[in-house]
Chains A and B, each alone.
Chain A
Amino acid sequence: QSALTQPASVSGSPGQSITISCTGTSSDVGGYNYVSWYQQHPGKAPKLMIYDVSNRPSGVSNRFSGSKSGNTASLTISGLQAEDEADYYCSSYTSSSKVFGGGTKLTVL
């Protein structure tokens, strides 16, 4: 199985919105509504931000939203804040297995 494709980096200014894409195939992202997104700050464990494409766990800011179209899922962060600067990973279910994206470093300018 191949890793999902994410941009290596994205950036935005405080208050702006950014979108991170996660591209897979019809065998993973496109085939199941089981895409999740994780935020990881340096030296910390990942934190679940979005599950099942567009659902937010309790306690996660509504500035974070997820969507999917075909084989590409997206994470949108609106009203960027300095604390959003982190690495973001997508993940998808794929036929009794799971796969991550390569990760995207978000820089808040």
Chain B
Amino acid sequence: QVQLQESGPGLVKPSGTLSLTCAVSGGSISSSNWWSWVRQPPGKGLEWIGEIYHSGSTNYNPSLKSRVTISVDKSKNQFSLKLSSVTAADTAVYYCARDPGSSWSHWGQGTLVTVSS
């Protein structure tokens, strides 16, 4: 059974860069899946951030595209998110998820990232 686990700093300063990693276990990141990041501000709905295929091909939410970079490390079976120039509006629970084609079948437990000085 595939499992995903997010990790990274829980506190980021305004104007800084948010960096998170998602470790994949129980399956290969080189399998035929897209690997996504989704976030949820406290008390609000879900927002898709972007996704990556093991080949390195990426798709991003147009509203975040200028600030987002998603990368994959096949040797470590993990993928990562970088979000630059963060503000308080980027405070959210960040989830990583697996998409085998058209939906997210497996999710990490989520990690809260707070943007504050």
Inter-chain contact total with CB atoms closer than 8 Å: 59
Q: Which of B46, B63, B109 contacts A89 (CB 8 A)?
A: B46
**Chain A positions 68-109 with a Cβ under 8 Å from a chain B Cβ:** 89, 91, 93, 96-103
Please report B residues at the A interface, Cβ cutoff 8 Å.
Answer: 36, 38, 45-48, 51, 59-63, 95, 102-105, 107-110
Structural contact, A46 and B104, CB atoms closer than 8 A: yes
Which chain B residue has the least Cβ–Cβ distance from A46?
A: B107
In the complex, how many residues of chain A place their beta carbon closer than 8 angstroms to a beta carbon of chain B?
24
Please measure, in the bound complex, the distance between the C-alpha atom of A25 and the C-alpha atom of B38, giving whole angstroms. 22
Please measure, in the bound complex, the distance between the C-alpha atom of A100 and the C-alpha atom of B110, giving whole angstroms. 17
Structural contact, B45 and A48, CB atoms closer than 8 A: no
Chain A contacts for B48, CB-based, 8 A: 91, 97-100
Structural contact, A57 and B63, CB atoms closer than 8 A: no
Given A96-B59, A97-B61, A97-B62, decide whether A103 and B103 contact each other with a Cβ distance below 8 A. Answer: no
**Chain A positions 32-78 with a Cβ under 8 Å from a chain B Cβ:** 34, 36, 38, 40, 45-48, 51-52, 57
